[in-house]
Amino acid sequence: MNLVVAGATGRTGSEVVAEACRRGHDVSGVARSADDVGDVRVSPAGELPDLLEDADALVDFTVPEASREHAARAADAGVPYVVGTTGFDDEGIADLREAGEATPVLKAANFARGVRALLEVVQAGVAALPDYDVELTETHHSGKRDAPSGTANTILDVVDDARDAALDRTYGREGEHERDDDEVGVHIRRAGNVRGEHEVLLAGNDEVLSLSHRAESRRVFAAGAVGQNPAAPTDPRLPFPCPRR
Ligand SMILES: NC(=O)c1ccc[n+]([C@@H]2O[C@H](COP(=O)([O-])OP(=O)(O)OC[C@H]3O[C@@H](n4cnc5c(N)ncnc54)[C@H](OP(=O)(O)O)[C@@H]3O)[C@@H](O)[C@H]2O)c1
């Protein structure tokens, strides 16, 4: 396939470029600045319409304001759009939905397979323990812009769904305040180069159930974004960066 990666110079986008190369795709990139990733050509974002002319898909890990534009360009070109960017406001989500009227749009706050499984386990755990307190902690690298993470927001939605209620999201705690039954605590840490950690704590009845996920490299997000097909070639010995063919 001919893949265009938006945010190709970024922490995650560069992993997507590498993973797509390992799987034998033709890859080109766009970013705010033109700064090639090894042998993979990265063009300024303004050149995206030209690149989409013969693209099979656009994969995007940038920032919400750029992704809204990228979604519109993918829709114009009728190119399937895979977006991992997080931190969209309601208008941004509406733009993605609008793009989805014209072309397939796949949005996920977290492309790790383990996180998909975590969401199912959280749903089951919260539903099985309806009277237990729920607290969520997430940790990411110091360069992350949005807080809570998109994954944390997705987990909180799953908790609400399992409780069939909109729990009061309490962000950190300070001072004197007794915990209410209908609140869920949300604790956010930003430090170093942590790829992404999420822990859901369920506590009550003299016991604690802890459900957690930790990404050990950004390759897990890249692999999810370009497809988990185990039959796809993923030989880690293939050179990176790979030349554009
Ligand atoms: N869904 C998932 O599984 C998942 C996993 C990890 C991260 N994410 C999300 O992916 C996004 C990127 O994270 P990151 O850590 O990779 O960020 P990053 O390292 O800061 O990279 C951002 C990339 O976006 C480009 N960019 C920034 N502003 C732009 C603009 N206005 N127009 C075009 N390109 C622009 C940057 O280009 P320049 O270098 O030229 O500025 C860079 O290539 C975040 O929203 C993050 O939460 C999602």
Q: Is residue 206 part of a domain?
A: yes
Same domain, 141 and 88: no
Same domain, 76 and 118: no
Provide the domain count of the chain.
Answer: 2
Same domain, 170 and 209: yes
Element (H, E) at 158: helix 150-163
Only one residue has tokens 């554009």, namely 244
Q: Share the mean pLDDT of the chain.
A: 93
Model confidence band, residue 35 (pLDDT cutoffs 50, 70, 90)? confident
Give residue 121 CA to ligand 1 midpoint distance, Å.
29
Question: What share of the chain has pLDDT > 70, as a percent?
Answer: 93
Assess whether pLDDT exceeds 80 at residue 205.
yes
Q: Which residue has the higher pLDDT, 208 or 34?
A: 208
Q: What is the pLDDT at residue 222?
A: 96
Same domain, 7 and 21: yes
CATH of the domain at 165: 3.30.360.10
Same domain, 159 and 175: yes
**Phi, psi at residue 59, to the nearest 5°?**
-115, 130
Same domain, 76 and 161: no
Q: What is the pLDDT at residue 125?
A: 98
**∠ CA 168-113-67, rounded to 5°:** 70
Confirm whether 198 is a catalytic residue. no
Element (H, E) at 169: strand 168-171
Pocket test for ligand 1, best of 63, 73, 105 (most atoms within 8 A of CB): 63
- Range 207-227 average pLDDT: 96
Which amino acid residue places its CA nearest to atom 7 of ligand 1?
12
Same domain, 195 and 142: yes
What is the rounded distance in angstroms from the CA atom of residue 15 to the CA atom of residue 7?
A: 10
- What range does the domain containing 172 cover? 113-214
Please check whether residue 203 is in contact with residue 135, taking contact to mean a CB–CB distance below 8 angstroms: yes
Q: Write down the catalytic residue from 25, 70, 140, 198.
A: 140
Which amino acid makes up residue 156?
L
Strand, helix or coil at 93?
A: helix
Specify the ligand 1 atom closest to the Cα of 141. 15
Give residue 116 CA to ligand 1 midpoint distance, Å.
21
- Range 94-118 average pLDDT: 97
Same domain, 183 and 122: yes
Q: Write down the catalytic residue from 144, 187, 198, 213.
A: 144
pLDDT 10s digits, 139-187: 999 999 999 999 999 999 999 999 999 999 999 999 998 999 999 999 9
Same domain, 11 and 105: yes
Which of 134, 137, 135, 242 has its CA nearest to residue 196? Answer: 137
Q: Is residue 239 part of a domain?
A: no
- Range 27-39 average pLDDT: 89
Q: Is residue 165 part of a domain?
A: yes
Which amino acid residue places its CA nearest to atom 41 of ligand 1?
32
Confirm whether 213 is a catalytic residue. no
Same domain, 119 and 194: yes
Q: What is the pLDDT at residue 230?
A: 54
- Range 61-79 average pLDDT: 98
